[in-house]
Amino acid sequence: MKNKILNLIVYVSISLLLGLLAGAMASFFGHILLWIGTLRNNHLSVLLPGLVLAGLLIVHVYQKWGRNARAGMSLVFEVAQGHDKKIPLVLLPLIMMTTWLSHLFGASVGREGVAVQMGAAIAQAIEKWTGSAIHRPILIKMGMAAGFAGLFQTPLAASIFAVEVLAVGKFAWKGLPAILLAAFTAAWTSNKLGLEKFQHSLYFPEELPFHQFLLLGLAFGFIGNLFALSLDISKKQANKWLPNPYLRMLIMGVVISALLFFHQGRYTGLGTNLIEASLSGETVYSYDWIIKFLFTVLCLTAGFQGGEVTPLFSIGASSGAFLASLLGFPISLAAGLGYTAVFAAATNTLIAPILIAYEVFGPYHVIESGIVVGIAYILNRKTSIYSQQIP
């Protein structure tokens, strides 16, 4: 009985500490990222031509100081899956600074990669500092959830994402209470430190035909699957044709910068402009999701840092707005469904995307979200944006 009480105290203490640290770090990172996005938008014509130079600096930084950390999300997955590897603490400043640099000069990348890697690195450091007896894979999942929750303030989705994403169709439930506590603490901390949560209420009281939800699920499943497959093929071909990372960044960076400049920065950064336009009924072009899709794949292949998830939200929302016009469907509802379903298909996750729908869009259409997400998820059980995910 005494040992059980001591173990409980250890789990609670580590969860709270991890949540506080991850939440504070997520708030710090998020505030600077928002400021950088505003700065980029105000001085786009000056900053965008420097994208290739920023990319070359990112390559150099990882080549010189971060060789052991270059694996990024793959390394986090391996440790969380129980492999005897360690996440170097240098990963923390590297991923934050290179992501800020990528966003400052206009790369079409996300931010969740930072959140998850940041939380995992903090968890590994806590293990080293405290000599914690918590099983390392559980501790890393606590860090993954805390980082995700701290940045997005969706603690339920973040917790389930950490236990669901490691293997397709399998859930590592062990340690879930500690994971939840770390995630809720991180979300609370970042909120108290002023980082705002993205929320948008979706409520349509009329009944809509089931076949429209079916068609949307099929379309979103195809888009998410195609994104994961395209990213995998693009990275493999780039490594084959341009094995030198400096040359790869030089060539791809020049092309990406020129194309982004041509589009006046509409597809730079996270893609939150497309999300907001899609959900609020503003102008969204039929090709927006395709171009955002292509730029994100190209930027990640070149070596820019940040992640895929927020661009996936953007691709999903803007493709939903386009499909709604074809189906005679409420545009903002289709955008909200696409926001979560494309993410589900690209990451091979089922429950976490449904919880994202609940935490971001409210409880009104959780059943519809479950239907569309479920269809999208079923269509893709092989490819994933995370190469280390166990099939």
DSSP string, 194-212: TPPPP-------S---HHH
Residue 197: inside a domain, yes or no? no
pLDDT value of residue 233: 96
Q: What is the pLDDT of residue 100?
A: 97
In a domain, 200, yes or no: no
Other CB atoms closer than 10 Å to residue 184's CB: what's the count? 22
What CATH number is given to the structural domain containing 233?
A: 1.10.3080.10
First to last CA, the chain: 39
Q: Give the C-alpha separation, 156 to 214, whole Å.
A: 26
| Cα–Cα nearest to 305, from 111, 42, 33 | 111
Rounded to 10°, the helix 245-262/51-65 angle is 150
Task: With respect to residue 23, please indicate whether it lies within any of the assigned structural domains.
Answer: yes
Judgement on whether residues 223 and 187 belong to the same structural domain of the protein:
no
Whether 103 and 214 map to the same domain: the answer is no
Which residues lie below 8 Å from residue 388, measured CB to CB, with a gap of 6+?
A: 73, 74, 77, 78, 81
**Residues of the chain whose pLDDT is less than 70?**
1-3, 67-70, 84, 132-133, 381, 391
- Check if the beta carbon of residue 147 is closer than 8 Å to that of residue 111: no
Residue 320 lies in a domain: yes
Kindly state whether residue 198 falls inside one of the protein's structural domains.
Answer: no
Q: How many residues does the chain have?
A: 391
Residues 169 and 231 in one domain: no
Based on the domain organization, do 361 and 218 belong to the same domain? yes
Is 154 within 8 Å of 190 (Cβ atoms)? no
**Helix ranges restricted to H, 288-388:** 288-302, 309-327, 331-347, 351-361, 366-378
In a domain, 39, yes or no: yes
Of 166, 192, 218, which residue is a domain's last? 192
pLDDT at 67: 67
**327: Cα separation from own chain's centroid:** 29
Cα–Cα dist 157/294, whole Å: 27
One domain, residues 168 and 269: no
At which of 192, 226, 242 does a domain end? 192
- The two most distant CA atoms of the chain are separated, in Å, by 67
Domain termination residue (choose one: 192, 227, 246): 192
3-class state of residue 74 by DSSP: helix
Domain region containing 32: 2-192
Statement to judge: residues 305 and 342 lie in one domain: yes
68 plus 154 within the same structural domain = yes
Phi, psi dihedrals of residue 11, rounded to the nearest 5°: -60, -45
Helix (H, G, I), strand (E, B), or coil: what is residue 390? strand
Q: Does residue 258 sit in the same domain as residue 168?
A: no
Same domain, 148 and 249: no
Can you list the pairs that 35-40 forms with residues at least 24 positions away whose Cβ atoms lie under 8 Å?
Answer: 36/100, 36/103, 36/104, 37/103, 37/269, 37/270, 39/104, 40/103, 40/104, 40/105, 40/106, 40/265, 40/268, 40/269
Does residue 14 sit in the same domain as residue 94? Answer: yes
Which of 270, 386, 294, 301 minimizes the C-alpha distance to 59? Answer: 301
Say which residue the tokens 């999701």 belong to.
289
Q: Which residues contact 346 (CB under 8 A, 6 or more apart)?
A: 224, 225, 227, 228, 308, 312, 380, 384, 385
**What pLDDT is recorded for position 136?**
85
Together in a domain, 168 and 253: no
294 and 174 housed in the same domain: no
Is residue 204 in some structural domain?
no
Domains contained in the chain, number? 2
pLDDT of residue 388: 84
220 domain-assigned: yes
pLDDT of 10:
82
Structure confidence at residue 2 (pLDDT): 64
pLDDT at 1: 65
